[in-house]
């Protein structure tokens, strides 16, 4: 299958995403922190559109020196996308399920050719 055009680089700002089709497969392409990531748009839970939900920074618990709970904060480094069907969260950089890192979405290579961004569909 030929590579799939996603967008012009100048029209795909950092923090944005696109959903493209490669034959019968939908692929979510994310532009995050200067890098591109692509995953099959198929949640591992019940087949929902995993890449189409809200994007949010990972929520982290804050513990004191004595290991007591101090509250929560948003991670500065880890961004998640959340399947809109049942809330499964995935790490945008790895495609791993945040609740069980052994579960991972199928990933695709993303390439830039001049101004054009493509997903390498296999």
Domain extent at residue 92: 4-120
Q: What is the pLDDT of residues 59-71, one digit of tens each?
A: 877 889 998 988 8
Across 6-30, average pLDDT: 96
Q: What average pLDDT does the structure give for the chain?
A: 92
Q: What is the pLDDT of residues 24-67, one digit of tens each?
A: 999 999 999 999 999 999 999 988 999 999 898 878 778 899 98
Task: Write the CATH number for 8.
Answer: 2.102.10.10
Q: Which residue has the tokens 């692509």?
A: 38
Single pTM value for the model: 0.87
User: What's the total number of domains in the chain?
Assistant: 1
Q: Where in 83-115 does DSSP place strands (E)? A: 89-91, 96-97, 100-104, 107-113
Q: Map residue 9 onto helix, strand or coil.
A: helix
Quickly state the pLDDT bin for 1 (edges 50, 70, 90).
low
72: pLDDT strictly greater than 70:
yes
Would you state the structure tokens that stand for residue 98, as one six-digit string? 């945040």
Residue 108 or residue 59, greater confidence: 108
Residues forming a β-bridge with 15? none
């Amino acid at each position: 299958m030929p590579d799939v055009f996603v967008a012009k680089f100048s029209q795909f700002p950092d923090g944005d995403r696109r959903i493209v089709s490669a034959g019968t497969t939908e692929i979510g392409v994310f532009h995050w922190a200067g890098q591109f990531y692509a995953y099959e748009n198929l949640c591992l839970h019940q087949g929902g559109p995993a890449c189409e939900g809200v994007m949010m920074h990972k929520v982290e618990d804050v513990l004191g020196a004595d290991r007591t709970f101090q509250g929560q904060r948003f991670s500065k480094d880890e961004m998640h996308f959340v399947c809109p069907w049942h809330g499964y969260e995935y790490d945008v950089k790895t495609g791993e399920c945040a609740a069980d890192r052994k579960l991972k979405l199928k990933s695709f290579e993303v390439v830039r050719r001049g101004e054009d961004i493509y997903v390498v569909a296999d």
